[in-house]
Amino acid sequence: MLRQHSANGVTYFTFPELTEYGLYHVIGSRVGGVSPEPFASLNVSVSVGDTAENVRENRRRLGEILGITPDQFVTAWMIHGNTVARVNGEHRGQRIPYCDALITDEPGVALFMTFADCVPIIVYDPTHKAVGLAHAGWRGTAAGVLQNTLHAMQQAFGSEARETVVAFGPSIGVCHYEVGPDVMEAFRLLGRATPAFQPGHEGHAYLDLVETNRRMARNAGVSQVLESKYCTACHTDVFFSHRAERGRTGRFGVLVMLA
């Protein structure tokens, strides 16, 4: 379960278990920023129509929680794919093109991504002191972005899945995520994940993104999985939800950094 915090008016969350491991992380919300509707108010995405000035101030407020500035963030140009990029201090201030997961073993390198329904996934290896951050909507989930992240960390840092903690942040819950035949077919064809569907209206199903990714983690051998228990679409007072707000909304940020 997430723990809620407030700092200078900004509402954010942490996983107590990750904090105990010594991992710096901030799961942002939409509360405590400067942006107007429909980005009110802590939008941290430059791709939704908000001004660069607002986004910069909002990112500054998130970074301040960890004592860093946005020019230290390494972020990703996300494409709902399964590509993983290994980054280090040289990438500070950069937006890595065409990837949906970032991994590092370098302390002080802040991995940063933006979300509004897709699952934020933090992967932490306390043994080898390495961390990953991934973005998993249905496309990334079906394409195995979590599986690829675990594999990339194993290759790069020697991270064993059984020693790794996987934490799923706030994302759209099965209660709000009805999908059509195209999505069901994509999971069948790609076969990287065993999707968790519940019956929906005719020809449709409700997709449980977190449970689907939990199965992927379990199949990979991960023993410790943490969940936020927040559905973004149920809690649009706290989080942005692309689906619940029909595309006109902002993104909240997730920031992770090795101490």
Q: Which residue ranges make up the site for Zn ion (CB under 5 A)?
A: 173, 175-176, 231, 233-234
- The smaller minimum CB distance to Zn ion, of residues 166 and 209, is found at 209
Quote the CA–CA distance of 7 and 154 in Å, as a whole number.
35
214-to-12, 54, 189, 237, 245 alpha-carbon distances in Å: 23, 35, 20, 26, 26
Written as one letter, the residue type at 218 is: R
User: What residues pair up with 85 in beta bridges, in sequence order?
Assistant: 102
Task: Compute φ and ψ for 51, nearest 5 degrees.
Answer: -80, 150
Smallest distance from the beta carbon of 230 to Zn ion, in angstroms?
9
Smallest distance from the beta carbon of 198 to Zn ion, in angstroms?
12
- The smaller minimum CB distance to Zn ion, of residues 157 and 230, is found at 230
Smallest distance from the beta carbon of 33 to Zn ion, in angstroms?
23
- The smaller minimum CB distance to Zn ion, of residues 125 and 211, is found at 211
Q: Is 152 left (phi over 0), alpha (psi -120 to 50) or beta?
A: alpha
Residue least distant from Zn ion (Cβ)? 231
User: DSSP labels for 64-88?
Assistant: HHTT--GGGEEEE---SS--EEE--
- The smaller minimum CB distance to Zn ion, of residues 162 and 229, is found at 229
Q: Which of 226, 229, 247 is nearest to 238 (CA)?
A: 229
Q: Provide the token pair at 109.
A: 């390198």
Smallest distance from the beta carbon of 220 to Zn ion, in angstroms?
27
- The smaller minimum CB distance to Zn ion, of residues 176 and 218, is found at 176
Quote the CA–CA distance of 100 and 76 in Å, as a whole number.
7
Smallest distance from the beta carbon of 2 to Zn ion, in angstroms?
16
Helices (H), the chain: 16-20, 52-65, 138-142, 145-157, 181-190, 209-220
Smallest distance from the beta carbon of 238 to Zn ion, in angstroms?
12
- The smaller minimum CB distance to Zn ion, of residues 129 and 243, is found at 243
Residues across the chain: 259
Smallest distance from the beta carbon of 171 to Zn ion, in angstroms?
10
- The smaller minimum CB distance to Zn ion, of residues 234 and 238, is found at 234
